[in-house]
Amino acid sequence: MPLWTIYHPADAFTDADKEELAGKITDIYGAVMPRFYVGIVFQAVEPNNFYIGGKPNGRYVRLVLEHIARSFPNVELSRRFIDRVNKTLQPYVADRGFDWELHIDETPFEYWSINGHYPPRPDTVDEKRWREENRPSPRTHD
C-alpha cells in the first residue's frame, strides 16, 4: 500500500486538481498492484504553520510517501520512480511556482493488513485476483 500525505498551502489545489492528481498518482501504482491499495491525503497548511528554514513559507509542498506493498530493490529503480513522481507533480507544483520536497518510507510487508486480511504477496495469483477485483477478500497467502 502506498499512502501519500501531501502537505500544501490551503489555496494550492482545487477539488478538481486533487481528484485529477489522485488519479494520476493511482495510475503510477495501478499497473503493479491493486488500485484500492493507493491512499492519498491532501493536508492543507496555513502559511503561518509551515516553516522552512525557520521562516514561514506559503509556497511549499511537502510529500510523505509510505510504501508497504512494494519496496525498491535498488537505488536505480527508486530514482526512476522518484523521477516519474516529480514529472507527475510538475504541473501541480513547479509550474505553479511552488517549491516541493518528498521522501519515501518503506514499512515491512509483514506489518500490514487491510480490513483484517493479510494481503497476498506481490505478484502472486491471489494478488493478481485482488488487482482484477480491486477489493480485498479473505483468501490470501502469507
Q: For residues 99 and 61, is the Cβ–Cβ distance under 8 A?
A: yes
3-class DSSP string for 19-85: HHHHHHHHHHHHCCCCHHHCEEEEEEECHHHCEECCEECCCEEEEEEEECCCCCCCHHHHHHHHHHH
Can you list the residues of the chain whose pLDDT is less than 50?
141-142
Q: Average pLDDT of the chain?
A: 92
Query: What pLDDT is recorded for position 142?
Result: 43
What per-residue confidence (pLDDT) applies to 134? Answer: 76
Contact criterion met (CB below 8 Å) for 85 and 48: no
104 touches 96 (CB < 8 A): no
pTM as predicted: 0.90
Amino acid 13 reads: F
User: Looking up cell 513522481, which residue turns up?
Assistant: 85
> For 41-66, how does the pLDDT look when each residue is reduced to its tens digit (9 = 90+)?
999 999 899 999 999 999 999 999 99
pLDDT at 86: 98
d(CA 22, CA 121): 25
In the structure grid, which three cell numbers stand for residue 81, read together? 520512480
What is the structure's pLDDT at 138? 62
Q: What top-level class would CATH report for the domain 2-133?
A: alpha beta
